[in-house]
Structure 1
Amino acid sequence: MTHHATPSPCPAAGHRAGSDVTSPSSSGTKYPAAPHGETITAALALHWDLDNAEVTPLMGGMNSATWHVKRHGDEWVAKAVPDGPPAEQFRYGLDLASRVEETGIPCGAPVASSEGRRTVATDGHELALLRWVPGRELNGNDEDDMVLMGVTLARAHQALGTHPVTEDQAWSRFDLLAGIEDTTVLHARPWIRPAMETVVRRLRQLRPETLTWGPVHGAPAPEHFRLDPDTGLCGLIDWGASSPWARMYDLATVVMDAGGPDTARPLIQAYLAQGALSPDEVGQALIPLLDFRYAINTLYYAGRILRDDLTGVADRAGNEEQLEQARRWLVR
């Protein structure tokens, strides 16, 4: 997932690469190195008829690589994701982005290849060419921008619809302890295991199967919203962390990145005004879901610290700072 609680480097303004932190297990799976720029240039010419395109690398996310593509004044983003589970999730997100974009929200949806495909196989990766979404990133500290985030996220949720889940299906997404592949992460700091157990207990009490479920963005951080000053349209890009979830997962994520429930009140009210969720559901579930989001970050960054994984951060302090931010929320 990409948000302030997850490091995400800053590519060019039209589109941002995603870190796609989506699982509390966050194992250190090794994927093939990203394709070289020459490989991407050749693939764009072969599959999208973009001969002689100018291809410039962008700062990639944790599990992806991106390039700015320019030709005859037109712009796109090329994104490559490793084969396997990351590519499966990538394709799912591309489908959602296309569906939401059809309702008028710019999403950086994929451009079909000359063969009519959304992605093509390229050097151990799935490659997509994404529409360029112009505009500036929204500011999670600005009240007007928070309102735009709330409205845009709610409209995206409404465009994607809902579906019921069983108790077992819901809990399979929320059981933090069952999802951990390497249990040493629970002992990286003395406070981690007790905090995880507390979060699990609160989630059990919430009964997550009673929440509103459907396809969600997965990482609606402020930097993934784009406001075009020329058209006034607000877009939502980078759908690489998408999956079926409770809508509250998305709302909790953006509230977390906007400074917490008190600071993000304008965002919450704007979201509620669209009718995507009821005030009762948000009031009941927001704090437990914020707990869950910080718990995911705890396991993720603790794992990165244990592996000395510096992908996407400037130095070791970046991982430590994010783990400390999670601790401050959870140990209260």
Structure 2
Amino acid sequence: MENGGRPSLGQVILLASTSAATALFYSIYRHKCRTAQTLKGAQNISLNDDLHSLLLDLPGRCVPYAVIEGVVKSVKDSLNSQFVENCKGVIQRLSLKEHKMVWNRTTHLWNDHEKIIHQRTNTVLFDLVPEYGIAGVSVRIVKPLDATELGLETVYEKFHPAVQSFTDVLGHYITGERPKGVQETEEMLKIGATVTGVGELVLDSKIIKLQPPKAGMLYYLSNLDFEGLVKKQESQVRLWRILTVVFGVATCVTLFFILRRQYRHHREKKRLRRLQREFQEAKARLEEEGGDEIRNPCVICLSSEKSCVFLECGHVCACFSCYQALPGPKQCPICRNSIARVVPLYNS
């Protein structure tokens, strides 16, 4: 059998890559699953007059993982949009992103490529207050930029196309890069926007704060409600589970074909050993019958009798020892056709 029954390089690479991808996707799936379960177990707390007294009665005056839904309100100053009038917020992110087409030498296609040229984020202190405004009840948001999901709204977006001369176009085709233009974007967390915050809720002196949680739990400031946030995390869990199953099946299929090839090689070796034993027995019987004259000499060594029938061509021209010595892939020395199998020749 070719390669001694060993798997080919392509099979080894495929098995290694699918196994690594399966392990990676399974690890991400487990992490996403734990994150979703932790989020579902967060304590939902209402912004009302009892919040202060509730935290006073708790150990450490904190809720390790709490859900707060409220309206954004600036503490002192606010941020004004650079492009939209009468648009105020507490978080402002300005971005410049370059868009270009890059030539892929492998697929021979132009692919879209994005690169952030410049990004700046401004923040001011802000609170979450009840939607209908209960006096004195507010939650101070600490380190909002550490949130995994920060619900910013795009308030301005403009694309500036690149102006190119004929010389530039020729140069771009030579270098393999074609600039499309620059996209200018402004995102803001507006004052009055409804936000769902998930984190550690603590009472620090007289100020109630929502801050990044401990023990590896994720911090959220999302424009979705809590139910929508949970559904979004669960959809990510399903995605990674599907990827894990798909690549796991690919790994199992690849392993099955490799093992089947090994089994066939083992079965072929057993068949060859059986044929060799039959040839040796036939040769021993001929020697017992006596006679030094070789009636049908092997066309290769001329010292042993022909004892093989090559299929599918049907030629009887060699002994078994010379058949084994033929280089692979084995071919009939008479007609040069491939030898599919060999059977012993019995002379009576």
Please give the range of the TM-score, normalised by the shorter of the 2 chains.
under 0.3
Query: Comparing both chains, which one has the higher relative contact order based on Cα–Cα distances under 8 Å and sequence gaps of 6 or more?
Result: 1
Q: Mark the structure with the bigger radius of gyration.
A: 2
With the length of structure 2 as denominator, give the TM-score of the two structures: 0.20
